[in-house]
Structure 1
């Protein structure tokens, strides 16, 4: 049975890290709201709020690999947040993943085990990622 805890994952099913993060959430007995952000991109206000909630600059949520990051000149530190938001709205693949929103906070979960700090549940039994790596949960949670 899944625990009724409000967790949202901005997910890309083609990404192994995103799949492992989603599996870890489900391993905790939580069925999150899954937003496949390439199919349903967040709007400008949501992107701004996600960045603010992580405590990171918007630039920290951008993905370079496999995206038009370089072609769009997004590495230029003079690019404003508004210009970065415009780019992500035009090219949602620029949003790094997975982003997880939980009652304990919001974070870019790279590596996937970063999600453990956001799960409002007791320590979990070991979990095996797709590549065979075993993740052990130390039970340390944000805000605890």
Structure 2
């Protein structure tokens, strides 16, 4: 089997396509969550904490110096706090989706299974019974 044919077979499988779609949707979802945290959740938290903007919070290790062309070196813990909040929001959303899917699966499992089709012998016996009933009438 040629490598090109193997690759086409690999790509055409549903799992690969599903995974690609999931990654693309996940990236878009990540942008939505980032906007939710940065634009909706963090401003009220900053307001409640006296106008603190977590994105600007940092510990400066080396100050910027234009003369010596030294860039600022800092630990940006505010961005880390924002990222943690984003992670928890994504985790909560995924938990809610998985919980909803699991509850749907449980409902499907609770439905009674369709009765099994009668065996050949049972079908023949039922036909004989019906014939005998029709002859008695």
| Fold shared per TM-score above 0.5 | no
What interval of TM-score do these two structures reach, taking the shorter chain for normalisation? under 0.3
Using the size of structure 1 for normalisation, the TM-score is 0.24
Higher relative contact order, structure no. (Cα contacts within 8 Å, ≥ 6 residues apart): 1
Quick check: which one's helix share is greater?
2
Using the size of structure 2 for normalisation, the TM-score is 0.24
Larger radius of gyration: 2
